[in-house]
Structure formats: structure tokens, C-alpha cells
Structure 1
């Protein structure tokens, strides 16, 4: 090979596009003093390179009309990393503190496909004659589509529906623990119907005649002449003496020589008193009328002299001599006691 030039040269290689697709047969070489320029046909685009370092952060300054206006700004190294959008070029310019870095076509390009949005629909009825409206609220991908539909005019009354269970009504409280025989009572506390014991009296129960213990010439100052058992009820209640009478003959020569009364008590002969027979002092066999009586004030909310739910109760009828010392005789013929139960007002 013949040497034509022996000094060092600077070689610059420049890629040349191939719009036709024909291979180059000659790669031109151009010498200018000690510079050599070689044009080489560009090859096909290669695969993407490795992920680069994060972009240089910058502080957004907004829009500016053109580059000339941007250059006129009195920027120093303290303004490094500030960036503007040059409207005339639709380009982004970043100030490095010394010079400008320009990014072409930085705006209005199609972005990457975002995640799909999941819409949750909510419907509401507007006023009669209003217009339909729709609104999307929230941030993607979880958003809510609220649609307001105009409310129509009131239509004609439909056919009667089938009867539903009262327990399924929206204004009825839980009836799981409702007692047998309960009724619904409205509560202003929560605006619901609640189960409550039926206000009617339960019963009646009674004893009569041979269920009383007769006796002659009794000298004891106190004597139990009968007991009766009230069956357990599904609700708590207050035993009520409805009526009754008992014949007692006091062996006296004059009125009020000896006085006899009858007490009706709950649970034992000394339990709370619930009934009473008016005292008499006649010298012959006399009916003592039995009626309700309590030893303290009673209201619908009182728990005095009451029986718990699902509990039996025993009633005691006793004769007491409150004055004198004469003997007395208990006559069972025609004797009777009638009892009923009054459910308590409030129960859970």
C-alpha cells in the first residue's frame, strides 16, 4: 500500500440515512487539512438501552412567550434547575446555571395508558319536572358516578299486595325475645314498635269451699286457712285480688269484744300483703269480704309485690285476731278467693 499522508488526523464519522433502502457501495471520505469526515450508512434501530439515572429535578416556572424573552431574564447560577415552557416552540427549557437544555415536543404528546377506572354508580331521584344530571367524583381509578333522575308524577294506585310479616316492617324492632301474648308499643326514643306485655289481666284463678281449712273454737291468734298456687307466666306480673269472702264465727257476747281480720300475702304468711278482709265484730257467723290492698303506694312502674317471669307464686290466706281473746270458728261453706295477674308495664 502506498502511504499518501503520514501526519495525525482527526476522523469524524457521520451517519447517513438511507431513505431508499439500497446498500452503500462507497463510503465517502473528505479531507480538510488534518480533519477527515467519513459518511457511514446508518444501521437499523437497536434495542432500548439500560434504564438511566433519574432525571435532573427542576422547578417549574410556567409559560413564557419565546426564547428571546427567556434569554433576557437575568438568571444566575442560583436559578439552576428552573424550567419554563416556551410557547412559541412548545418546548421545555431548563436552566443549568450556565446554559440552557432544550426539550422539543415536550407538551401535548400522548401519555402512557393509565389504569382502568372502576365506577361505582349511585342513583337519586330529583324533584318532579327537574332535569337529569350526572357527576363523576373522586380520584381515578376509584370514582363514583352519581346520576339524578327526574322524579315522575304520582301514578295511579296499584293493586293491593299480599300481607307481609309484621316482624319484617322497617319500623318494628327485633322481635326475637318477644314473650307469648305480647303486643307492639310505640317508642318515641328510637321511633320503633317494640314488643311489650299485653295490658289485659291474666287469669282468673280461684279456690273455693273445701280448699279452705275449716276449724272450730280456734284460740290461736293467727291461723293460715288456705294457700293457692298461681302458675308461671311468660312475663313478670303483679297478683291482683279480684274478689272473695270467708265466713268466720266469733264466740262473743257483744260486738267488738273480739275482732278478726283476714290477710292475703304473697310468697309466705309474712310476705308482702296484697289483699285484706275488713274486720268484723258480730257475735254470729259473718262473711268477711276480701279486696286488694298494699302496704305502700303502687304505680304502673312499681315492682313491689310482683312475680318474676316464668316463676310460680304461692298466695297465703290467714286469719288474725287483732283484739280480744275469744275463740273463733272458720266456716268453709261458700268461701272463695279469685285472683288475676296484671303484667308489668315495662319489660325487656
Structure 2
């Protein structure tokens, strides 16, 4: 029982009531904080309200369970259970533990022309953002024209750092950007003539390489194209056996038995004859074909080979007047 006077007792009065004895014991001073209890139910903190009457006017339901308010005039917390109130008196007697310092991140937003400046802190401590709204100024007068910029710096152009020299720009509808692409023109030319052909007389071999041509590595995949060529050669056919020999000249890619890309036919004659070499493929060609092509950054060698199909008569090759002119057709999708 509390001491109504506040002075120390020298006598503790006792009163008997039936089988109970009531003794007045002086109330001691307030003790220190007790041990930390179990975690409280999670609350949805709703902030301050001036008095309990304000809370009673909110018409709360079970959907508002676990919402809590501080009632300022009572210095108490009221927790709504969904059916009734739980009151915690003297809820704010001592300051709590210091929380972590807030790390503010700045953000700037342009407001409408003529609007007012504003500042707002958003997020939950300690990670919060200070967002400042700056009024947008009125549109100024048109400035002087700037210098022409580089195409590579345009927003709709992909990275051209590794684009090979001579590339052109091609539109890619997948990413809506301009990309480096092989030029649509032919590359080259490369040519051999005269002394680069091996002359020979009365040759009976089934096949004979008479010349080679090396095309240096190109930054694009390409198809070598025989533009023009001639071979000063003939079939040595006696007058008694004309037209019995079929001997051909092939331009082959990669080796003496590689893919044929050029063709000509030797004729039976008493004197040397210029045989025309033209483009030649063993199969139909489309823009996507890989037949007769060379990969990017790869050196290629062409072989001019004489091959006998039928007959036994000899043939002769003369270097003078022989030549071959080749160009490269870049392949768009095979760089």
C-alpha cells in the first residue's frame, strides 16, 4: 500500500478481516528497468493522435488489426487488436537506442515551367533519398549551329571501334542501329600474267598446274570472281585424229583439286590459241551460299590447272599472252 503521508513508518498497522490480515507496507522508490521481454507483436505504426476520442471515431474493423497510435495527451500507445484496444501507459518515458545514421542520396527533378521548387525525403531510414524539384526555365532562343559531329558519335550508330577500313553503314532492324558492313563494291583487282605462267611443250600429264595467284587476307569474307583471263595453249592433235581430246583449264580455290571458280577449254590447233577463262561454279549460287568463298582475315591461293578429260594427245602451254584478273565480292552476312 502507498504511504499516504510520505513519512517513514515506525509502526506498520495490521487489520484482520475474516481470515485475512491486511498490513500497510510503505511503497519503496521506483526500481530500474527490468529484463528485456519477448518481442512484441509487429505493429503498423500510424503516428500521433491528440486524444483517445479521436481514435474511437475512426470506425476501425478487423482489417485494421495491429495498427498502433501514440495518444499525445496520455503519453500512451493504443494498439487495435481488431476487436478492442490495448493501452500501454507511460510508453515514452526514456529515449530508445540510437538508430543508424541515414545515408541521404540526392536526386534532382525538373519541374514544369513556372512551378515552385520543392524538396521531399523518400524511402526508409537509413537509406533515404532527398529529391529536389527545380522549376524548369522558359525555353531560350535558338543557339548558333554547332559543328558537324562524327557519324560514329550518333545515337543510332553502333560501336564502330573495330570496323574494318572501307566499311559502309547498314541498318539493322533488330536493334534499330547502324552497323559496319562490307562495301557493296568489288575488292581488288589482283592479276598475274606472262612470266608467272609455266610454259611447257608436248605435255602428256593427266593434270598440270601452270600458275598460282595469292590474294592477301581481307577484313571481310568474300567470293573470288574471275573477271577475265586467257591461257595461250593448244591441243597437239594430228590431222588424222582431230576432235578426240577434251582438255580443260580450271581456276581452283585453295589447292590444285579445290573448288573450281573459273573455266576454259583447250582447242586442237597447229598454232597457239588464246583460251578464254570465265567464271565457273559447280552448283547454283545465292547471296547466302558459302560455296567458293574465303573467310575474313584469311589468305587465299588460286591454282590454274590443266586437266585431261579424254584423249591421249599432248598439249602445249605458252606463257606469253597468258593472264588472269580476279576481284573479290564481299559477303554481307559472312564477315
**TM tier, smaller:** 0.5 to 0.7
Q: Is it true that 1:267 corresponds to 2:254 in the alignment?
A: yes
Unaligned runs of 5+ in 1: 1-10, 16-28, 35-47, 70-82, 95-100
Alignment partner of 1:202 out of 184, 187, 191 = 187
From 107, 112, 117, the equivalent of 1:122 is: 107
Measure how far apart 1:302 and its partner are: 2.6
The offset of 1:203, in angstroms, is 1.6
- Aligned position for 2:213: 228
Name 1:243's counterpart in structure 2.
228
Q: Distance in 1 between matches of 2:88 and 2:174?
A: 72
User: What do the CA deviations read for 1:147-194 (whole angstroms, capped 9, x no partner)?
Assistant: 555655654433344555655554443445433433443322223333
1:212 aligns with 2:194: no
SS of structure 1 residue aligned to 2:201: strand
- Aligned partner of 1:298 among 281, 285, 288: 285
**Could you tell me whether the CA contact under 8 Å between 1:257 and 1:281 is conserved in 2?**
no
Residue of structure 1 equivalent to 2:6 = 14
5 Å matches for 1:258-337? 258-278=245-265, 280=267, 284-337=271-324
For residues 93 and 314 of structure 1, the distance between their equivalents in structure 2, rounded to whole angstroms, comes to 92
CA contact (8 A) 2:295 2:334 kept: no
Point out the structure with max Rg over C-alpha: 1
What TM-score comes out, normalization by structure 2 length? 0.66
Tell me if the contact between 2:191 and 2:323 (Cα under 8 Å) persists in the aligned partners: yes
Tell me by how many angstroms 1:288 deviates.
1.5
| Alpha-carbon contact 1:238-1:344 (below 8 Å) kept | yes
1:187 aligns with 172
Give TM-score scaled by structure 1 length. Answer: 0.63
Between the two proteins, the alignment pairs up a number of residues equal to 289
In the TM superposition, residue 336 of structure 1 has moved relative to its aligned partner by 0.7
Distance 1:215 1:65, change over 3 A: closer
Deviation at residue 338 of structure 1 after TM alignment: 0.6
- Unmatched 5+ stretches in structure 2: 14-29, 44-48, 57-67, 79-86
Q: Given the alignment, which residue of 35, 49, 72 partners 1:53?
A: 35
For the residue of structure 1 that corresponds to 2:195, the secondary structure is: helix
**Residue of structure 2 in register with 1:90 after alignment:** 74
Superposition CA RMSD, Å:
4.6
Name the CA distance, whole Å, in 2 between partners of 1:187 and 1:164. 22
Question: 1:206: Cα distance to partner?
Answer: 0.6
